[in-house]
Amino acid sequence: MKIGSDKNSGLQMDLLQRAQRGPREVAAEAFLRIIRDPDVRREDEELHPDWLSAYERVWENVSSRLPPGSRKEVESFFDALQSFDSQLAKIEVANLRTTFLLGAGASKPAPSGIPTVKELLPQLLAGC
């Protein structure tokens, strides 16, 4: 499952609001609809990271509004996502600075053509 905030539909964001703020029946149905959404399942659309916090915060209070089979389906979906570090889900990729750490095997000759430290250092220092 792709988690991110760059590629989320209006429908997903509406469902997320319902899950976070709606009456218990509406919130429970929102969780069920998002886990069954074909775009989310195919990873054509990212699952917004706020779904994880919404699940942690409200699921216990709303889960009783779904039949046991549907409740288990939602719980299995979100439990599988919990294996990810929750802090990683909050990272805003657009605000990151990129660092490349290269070691043995990242040689200058083709096909990599990676510059040596001696060649790269002046460029790095110029950027400071």
Q: Which of 98, 116, 99 is nearest to 107 (CA)?
A: 116
Blockwise average pLDDT, block size 10, the chain, 128 residues = 88 95 94 95 93 92 93 92 66 76 68 74 78
64 Cβ contact list (under 8 Å, min separation 6): 24, 28, 71
Verify that 17 and 54 share a domain, yes or no.
Answer: yes
Domain match, 62 and 112 both: no
Asked if 38 and 56 sit in the same domain, the reply is: yes
* 86 and 25 within one domain: yes
Write out the residue range of the structural domain in which residue 104 sits.
95-126
Considering the entire predicted model, what is its pTM?
0.64
